[in-house]
Chains A and B, each alone.
Chain A
């Protein structure tokens, strides 16, 4: 009896590992984004997805040669952002913003939005748990 039960349980756990051992890196902040390599990007907002579970802000960044790069900035849910002072009406298409973001480890044009500075100088920090550490 016990042997069969354990077989079933072990096979179940193997199933879990098969499912979890994926090549994509996720989903703690530190495992998906590199907090040790913050980026500063300046660009024009092209699209805002003010949705659960993550708000996405898409910006067009002009690099030194004039080519436009499209960056996707992922951040926290709407309710959490609003509690921190960032509201959806503050983000409009066509606005120029400067962001401090952590680049995704998979080196794609994806980053975690940490701090956003608007053209008029207002600055809002998105804090992840450690408000005392917010820079």
Chain B
């Protein structure tokens, strides 16, 4: 992994990312925007399932999930730009490793949510209906994991040694 990072740092693409000053700053702004869209839309569904926001039908909130995916894709792309630009400040960084771990776990959580059929069970819930316990577990885990991703992202220069 470390050798890959050193190789990546020497590529033209990496040079491109760091040579033009506006690339990094713009990608950082977009990364925060994608994070907000993701957290807002996925958080909306989680909050509906947890019962903190009971007024809409779940099918209505489900329609926001595709926008959450859109936010995630923005962050995937901008995150790749950061990694390509400065691989060495992430590859040995414990905060980055935890962030990736939480990210993978969040993805795993989403997968289980759909594969176990809980997603189908809640699809038909009308306004003010309570979600089943299984859905609440998925929702709570999702919130915890995404907040964790944000936390370790913020800690990159503090727990680890990124600039």
Name A's B-contacting residues (CB within 8 A). Answer: 9, 12-13, 16-17, 19-32, 53, 76-77, 79-80, 105, 112, 127-133
Are A128 and B88 neighbours in the complex by a CB distance under 8 Å? Answer: yes
Given the complex of chains A and B, what is the CA–CA distance between A9 and B33 in angstroms? 11
Binding site for A on B (CB under 8 A): 2, 5-6, 17-30, 33, 70, 82, 85-86, 88-93, 157-158, 160-163
Which residue of chain A has the shortest Cβ distance to B18 in the bound complex?
A30
Identify whether the interface residues of B are mostly helix, strand, loop, or mixed: helix
Query: Are B85 and A31 neighbours in the complex by a CB distance under 8 Å?
Result: yes
- Pick the contact of A31 from B21, B30, B89 — CB < 8 Å? B21
Decide: B157 and A53 in contact? CB cutoff 8 A: yes
A31-B19, A130-B89 given. 19 additional CB < 8 A pairs?
A13-B30, A23-B21, A28-B18, A28-B24, A28-B85, A29-B89, A31-B21, A31-B23, A53-B157, A80-B157, A80-B160, A128-B88, A128-B89, A129-B86, A129-B90, A130-B88, A130-B92, A131-B92, A133-B6
Q: Are B22 and A20 in contact (CB under 8 A)?
A: yes
B35 to chain A, nearest CB (A): 12
19 contacts between A and B (CB under 8 A): A12-B33, A19-B26, A20-B28, A20-B29, A21-B22, A21-B26, A24-B25, A27-B25, A28-B17, A28-B82, A29-B86, A31-B20, A77-B158, A128-B162, A129-B88, A129-B160, A129-B162, A130-B89, A131-B161
